[in-house]
Amino acid sequence: MSPRPTVLLVLAAFVLAGCGATAVPVAKKTKARAACRAHRHRSLVTRRNGFAVVVPRGALAHTRPGGRVLARFGPKNANGAPTVFGVLGSVVTPYCEPTWFWVQLPLRPNGITGYVRASDVRLLQVPTRIEVDISQRRITLYRRGRPVLHATAAVGSAATPTPTGRYYVNQRLLTNDPSGPYGPGAIGISAYSNVLTGWTQGGPIAIHGTNEPSSIGQPVSNGCLRLPNAVLRKMFAATVTGTPVIIHP
């Protein structure tokens, strides 16, 4: 995060499937012998492609399949962006049909996960992945497992560090002032500052542009990752909502 927000972030007009994410057809039960173990967890984490689910009408996140409700989500988030969850795995029938998805949630505490019913969401395959190396102050964007963009970034200061862990891109936002502290736009991440808990919407973390180019490569932000505006535009255009984001110390 940069200084306390002074510009309005406006939802970038996009359709998930039109930005590179591909809808994944659900397996259909056939007369063939069952191929999966009922209620088995299947990992959907790979280094080549990620997975996400979009929420068309709303969904409940549970602590476990059929368990206590953790949170309720509508089809759009607080910024008007479509609600999306990063997917870690699925629970399947003997015919490999998903009944639940194990998903990352854009909530505190960082790294929280839950389960959503497969019937409430739509599964998408995501070809991109972002890796952040805080010590090197580097961001790399991958497409289908291959690096396509490297960039030096400003990272969180010692007092307001960038949180580490595995997250995902939960929204893509444009600013109404490209010359402001966020530059032309922000790639929202499902992480929150572990320090600035009283900020608007809980202190969300993002990759964004900047009006302080001299800060690039320095540990000076309030937790967000700043890129030169020209680089931010390239990453923004190439990044799909639902993209896994792995932040290393």
Of 19, 39, 62, 208, the active-site residue reads 208
Active site residue 224: yes
Of the candidates 5, 45, 225, 75, which has an alpha carbon nearest to the alpha carbon of residue 145? 45
Q: At 53, phi and psi to the nearest 5?
A: -125, 140
Give the helix ranges, DSSP H, for the chain: 229-238
Angle at 219 between CA 215 and CA 220, to 5 degrees: 60
Asked whether 175 and 8 are in contact (CB, 8 A), the reply is: yes
192-202 burial by CB neighbour count: b if 16+ within 10 A, else e? bbbbbeebeee
Angle at 203 between CA 197 and CA 206, to 5 degrees: 150
Q: Distance between alpha carbon 47 and the CA centroid of its chain, in Å?
A: 15
Q: Pick the catalytic residue: 62, 96, 224, 248?
A: 224
- How far apart CA 68 and CA 191 sit, in angstroms, is 23
Is 208 known to be catalytic?
yes
Do residues 154 and 221 touch, judged by C-beta distance below 8 A?
A: yes
Q: How many CA atoms lie within 13 A of 113 on its CB side?
A: 18
The amino acid present at 114, given as its one-letter code, is: G
**Residues forming the active site:** 208, 224
